[in-house]
Amino acid sequence: MPNFKCLFFLENDGLQVVEVKHTDLDENAEASEIFKWLRIDSSTNEVSQLTFSTMDSSGEIEERYFEEGYLKFNSKTGTFIEKFNSAQHALVRRDELQLPVHLQNLIETFIDSNKHTTTV
């Protein structure tokens, strides 16, 4: 069983953007440790963490701001705009939060390899 729960899942043919909640951390853990936004490149299977900055939720539109870019989405679609507008990715929001097994495995491996990494 995965050590995380998927909260949001948006994707296209080349990119997945996922918010996960760690389910194996102490109840006193910081929110920044519990909740992670991840970007997964479909062609390389590279998982990278997006550095969360702030969020806005107004009615049906959700917005997330990261050091690496900006994500705007509703109940059906979304757009991830990379920093400096270097690329824009049209995404489809998945209602089914059960991730495909290969994505679960990639995310678990990423989480496990970053568990003991400390930020200064």
Given a cut of 80, is residue 119 above it in pLDDT?
Answer: no
Give the β-pairing of 61-66 and 35-41.
unpaired
Q: Is the pLDDT of residue 15 over 60?
A: yes
Q: Quick one: pLDDT at residue 117?
A: 53
3-state DSSP assignment of residue 95: coil
In the chain, the percentage of residues whose pLDDT exceeds 90 is 72
Token output for 69: 């870019």
**Ramachandran angles phi, psi of 15, nearest 5°:** -150, 140
State residue 120's pLDDT score: 41
Query: Who wins on pLDDT, 74 or 97?
Result: 74
Q: Distance between CA atoms of 112 and 114, rounded to whole angstroms?
A: 5
Q: pLDDT per residue over 29-86, tens digit each?
A: 888 889 999 999 999 999 999 999 999 998 899 999 999 999 999 999 999 999 988 8
Does an H or E element contain 111, and which? helix 101-114
Residue 1 confidence class, pLDDT cut points 50, 70, 90? low
Cα 48 to chain centroid distance, Å, stands at 9
Residue 90: which residues within 8 A CB-CB, separation 6 or more?
12, 77, 78, 79
pTM of the model: 0.89
- Looking at the chain, the whole-number percentage of residues with pLDDT higher than 70 is 95
